[in-house]
Amino acid sequence: MTGRPTDHRNVDLTALNLDVIAGRGGGRILWQPRILAWYHDKEFAGQPLPEPYTGMTLPQLYQALGVSNRVYDFGACYQSHEDPQVRITQREVSTTDYEVLVETPVGVQRAIYRRSPNSPWHMPVKWPISDPAEMKVAAWREERRTWSWDQAAYDNLCATWKGLGAPAMFICRTNVQKLFVEDMGVEEAVFALHDYPSLCRRYFEALSVTQERLIEVINASPIRYVNFGDNVHARLCTPELFRAYMLPVYQRRCELLHRAGKFVHAHWDGDCGPLLPLARETGLDGIEAITPVPQGDVTLEEVKSALGDMFLIDGIPAVYFDRTFSEQTLVDCARRIIDLFAPNLILGVSDEVSATGEIERIRLVTQVVDDYNASL
């Protein structure tokens, strides 16, 4: 059956998003599949979207599919400002590589990035932090970084995504994960934590200083849907590292954000099994992108046991949108997630539909969710 008042196509999905995270959705759940990788990979490769979506923008595509987007575009409303003494320059060093040089009164950071012919993302050849001297510079910069709110950006984004999802943002990665993903790479970061732990802690304290400044701006803003964009993988960020470094920061951030009524969740998109026992200690309202078997390392039942009444955000393995798996497998998975987690559920894809995914499978899950919401 279609055309019911409760169906996603017939409701304001921004309002439904806010109602669900506030616990006033009357038991309804939100279907919020992230399809940015599917879209941007085709865009980068110069491939047109399939009919009937050819030529559509992302908001138009979500509108055509009748589903919600997790609109992290609103992160652009929070503007980062370096100390005025910082000078950042960029120059080409080859046909594929470019250098970013950061000059400060206390030293220099130098990074080199390589463009890929297969992806819009650039990979570090030389990381921004490669020794204690560069870490000291990075700490100096973070201690002096400030933040401001861009109301014009907020107004424009609200107009662009009207009715398709609540404004959302993700805060900077938490200490260890920032070292792994942005600053040093995993191997060198692990050596740094062992070789100069005091300096690492000083850098982490500087990150906390600037991130709490950002939280002040977040708390004064209208955005209620806040994510810790950490991309946690338990085989890299072990329970020991998480407990020693990240857990106290999660707890502190959650305390501050909850004072202003924010809904707070974190992005754990790698293997999560070893970390799930710590989930309820974090202070988070939910966790995003936990990926069950056969793609991840946990079952849905294990996730439910660990989260309790916390929200699951996402939950459907992305591989279920490829032809490798039957449509019935996808439908059965969606129903099982609803049975286990509703109403503390924002159903989505863990992590995103890939470039090889079948976009029409989105509609199969829409039908499952709409049937469930109508049954209430």
- Percent of the chain scoring above 90 in pLDDT: 98
Measure the CA dihedral 334/366/289/174, to 10°. -150
The whole model's pTM is what? 0.96
> Is residue 179 very low, low, confident or very high in pLDDT (cuts 50, 70, 90)?
very high
**229, 296, 318, 348 from 163: Cα distances, Å:** 24, 32, 25, 18
Per-residue pLDDT, 119: 87
Per-residue pLDDT, 164: 98
Long-range contacts of 284-287 (CB under 8 A, 24+ apart): 284/228, 284/250, 284/254, 284/310, 285/21, 285/310, 285/311, 286/310, 286/311, 286/312, 286/313, 286/344, 286/346, 287/311, 287/312, 287/313
Average pLDDT over residues 80-88: 98
Asked if the model's pLDDT at residue 364 lies above 80, the reply is yes
pLDDT digits (tens, 9 = 90+) for 256-274: 999 999 999 999 999 999 9
Instruction: Give 108's strand partners.
Output: 103
> Is residue 3 very low, low, confident or very high in pLDDT (cuts 50, 70, 90)?
confident
Which sign does the torsion angle of CA 35, 37, 40, 41 carry?
Answer: negative
Per-residue pLDDT, 48: 95
Best CA proximity match to 292, nearest among 330, 251, 246: 330
Higher pLDDT, 90 or 121: 90
Q: Where are the domains of the chain?
A: 8-81+130-375, 83-129
Query: What whole-number distance in Å separates Cα of residue 113 and Cα of residue 124?
Result: 4
Average pLDDT over residues 164-177: 97
Residue 257, Cβ neighbours under 10 Å: how many? 22
Per-residue pLDDT, 175: 98
> Is residue 118 very low, low, confident or very high in pLDDT (cuts 50, 70, 90)?
confident
Instruction: Give 317's strand partners.
Output: 350
Query: What whole-number distance in Å separates Cα of residue 64 and Cα of residue 51?
Result: 11
pLDDT digits (tens, 9 = 90+) for 313-335: 999 999 999 999 999 999 999 99
Average pLDDT over residues 111-130: 95
Instruction: Assess contact for 254 and 284: CB atoms under 8 A.
Output: yes
DSSP 102-127: EEETTEEEEEEEE--SS-S--EEEE-
- Percent of the chain scoring above 70 in pLDDT: 99
pLDDT digits (tens, 9 = 90+) for 226-250: 999 999 999 999 999 999 999 999 9
Query: What whole-number distance in Å separates Cα of residue 183 and Cα of residue 192?
Result: 11
- 8-81+130-375 maps to CATH 2.60.40.10: no
Residue 194, Cβ neighbours under 10 Å: how many? 9
Per-residue pLDDT, 35: 96
Work out the mean pLDDT of the chain and round it to a whole number. 97
DSSP 241-260: HIIIIIHHHHHHHHHHHHHT
Average pLDDT over residues 344-370: 97
One-letter amino acid at 176 equals V
pLDDT digits (tens, 9 = 90+) for 46-67: 999 999 999 999 999 999 999 9
Phi, psi of 320, deg, nearest 5: -70, -10
Which sign does the torsion angle of CA 287, 280, 239, 189 carry?
Answer: positive
Asked if the model's pLDDT at residue 1 lies above 80, the reply is no
